[in-house]
């Protein structure tokens, strides 16, 4: 097992740092191209139809063709936009999406041309807080895009996105707090090292469920894709965007999906550690093999995104807000108290309580799963009493132009 030595970070030669940064950039771009194609093919199969199958053998070049098509399209800028902010918004969305991946550990120590280096660009003592901070900046791109478009529906989409991110980032941060308490560190490489024996997905099941729900809401994906709900808001915050500017928003969405999937892998699925029974092999967690396990886990979460999009209808906005504020946040707060108490008792030598934590976690996870299921199947949040007029129709206030003139005496 070759866990990275924290002293190695910051001492790589400049060419190795540049190579790792370019490698992460290329990894994310290729992941986005593959994810778009695989999502369209999976959705086609799940919906009893063919996916893309025209461009290239079996449609494998469809994503590349779409990218070239967007690049060659005419960029139309509407007359009523705030042009500097309108042009800057896609850039604000896409840059933080790439920056967040800088502290994600993709493997242990490897040798590159004689230099020992971890498969991670850098690490911080508060690396997870850095990811939360950077990904929070991305929402400014969506809000500013909606505001600068000078149109009603993009503005509504931007406002929805700001409320959505605030609500679900609180729940996401609270799910991380339990991981910090149990691992004793906020460093991403330290959290992976703490899962050398047992993954946190088994010890902290409620935190995992809260995080998985929050990451779908954080990335504006179905069934939480309310900022771009085409049935209500035409296309949402990016209605007035075209060509490369629109492509940048789509790139940011899929890179964010990859980032939150990588973060879920790091926090709960042991990071780059090999799954059982592969970890029985002594060399499973050494060399370049961990990069394969890490990529496979990330794609498992990406498949979850695709599956949810093909399965669940979009929630109503009141249901969506109620799910975040009435279920996820209170459950996370209660679970943090349980984890903190168990951690204190274990430090005092009461090891039996560590086993009790698993039992409490299973019960809490079942309660949370039932609550999520009920929220997704809810028909109405509140019932409005029926007030039917004598004529049998619902009372409608008169329009201003339909107000009758008082009759002459």
pLDDT of residue 41: 92
CB of 362 closer than 8 Å to CB of 204: no
Beta pairing partners, 115: 112
Give CA–CA dist 186/177, Å, rounded.
9
Chain center to CA of 258: 8
Largest CA distance in the chain: 103
pLDDT of residue 389: 46
CB of 57 closer than 8 Å to CB of 65: no
| CA count, 13 A, side-chain hemisphere, 295 | 13
354: Cβ contacts below 8 Å, ≥ 6 apart: 342, 346
pLDDT of residue 309: 87
Which element (helix H / strand E) includes 310? Answer: helix 289-311
Chain center to CA of 209: 13
Give CA–CA dist 64/66, Å, rounded.
5
Beta pairing partners, 295: none
Give CA–CA dist 82/246, Å, rounded.
17
* pLDDT tens digits, one per residue of 13-39: 888 989 999 999 999 999 999 999 999
Can you tell me whether residue 363 is helix, strand or coil?
helix
Residues lower than pLDDT 70 in the chain: 1-10, 230-231, 350-358, 375-409
Buried b / exposed e along 214-230 (16+ C-beta atoms within 10 A):
bbbbbbbbbbbbbbbbe
172: Cβ contacts below 8 Å, ≥ 6 apart: 132, 210, 211, 214, 215, 218
């Amino acid at each position: 097992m070759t866990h990275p030595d924290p002293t190695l970070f910051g001492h790589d030669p400049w060419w190795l740092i540049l190579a790792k940064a370019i490698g992460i950039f290329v990894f994310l771009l290729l992941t986005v191209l593959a994810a778009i194609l695989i999502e369209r093919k999976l959705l086609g199969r799940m919906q009893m139809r063919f996916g893309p199958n025209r461009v290239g053998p079996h449609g494998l070049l469809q994503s590349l063709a779409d990218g070239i098509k967007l690049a060659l399209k005419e960029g139309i800028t509407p007359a009523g936009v705030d042009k500097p902010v309108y042009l800057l918004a896609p850039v604000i969305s896409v840059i933080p999406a790439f920056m967040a991946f800088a502290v994600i550990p993709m493997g242990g120590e490897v040798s590159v041309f004689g230099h020992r280096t971890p498969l991670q660009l850098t690490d911080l003592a508060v690396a997870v807080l850095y990811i939360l901070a950077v990904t929070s900046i991305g929402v400014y791109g969506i809000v500013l895009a909606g505001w600068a478009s000078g149109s009603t529906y993009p503005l509504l989409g931007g406002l929805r996105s700001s409320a959505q991110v605030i609500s679900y980032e609180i729940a996401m941060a609270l799910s991380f707090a339990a991981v910090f308490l149990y691992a004793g560190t906020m460093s991403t490489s330290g959290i992976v090292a703490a899962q050398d024996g047992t993954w946190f997905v088994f010890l902290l099941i409620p935190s995992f469920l809260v995080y998985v729900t929050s990451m779908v809401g954080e990335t504006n994906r179905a069934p939480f894709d309310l900022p771009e709900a085409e049935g209500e808001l035409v296309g949402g915050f990016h209605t007035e965007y075209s060509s490369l500017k629109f492509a940048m928003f789509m790139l940011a969405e899929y890179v964010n999906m990859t980032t939150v999937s990588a973060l879920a892998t790091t926090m709960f699925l042991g990071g780059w550690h090999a799954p059982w029974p592969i970890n029985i092999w002594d060399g499973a967690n050494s060399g370049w093999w961990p990069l394969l396990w890490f990529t496979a886990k990330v794609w498992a979460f990406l498949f979850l995104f695709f599956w949810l999009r093909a399965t669940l209808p979009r929630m109503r906005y009141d249901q969506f807000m109620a799910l975040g504020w009435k279920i996820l946040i209170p459950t996370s707060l209660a679970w943090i108290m349980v984890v903190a108490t168990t951690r204190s008792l274990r430090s005092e030598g009461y090891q039996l309580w560590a086993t009790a934590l698993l039992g409490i976690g299973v019960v809490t996870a079942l309660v949370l799963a039932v609550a999520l299921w009920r929220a997704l199947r809810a028909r109405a949040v509140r019932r409005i009493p029926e007030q039917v007029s004598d004529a049998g129709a619902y009372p409608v206030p008169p329009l201003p132009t339909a107000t009758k003139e008082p009759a002459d005496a």
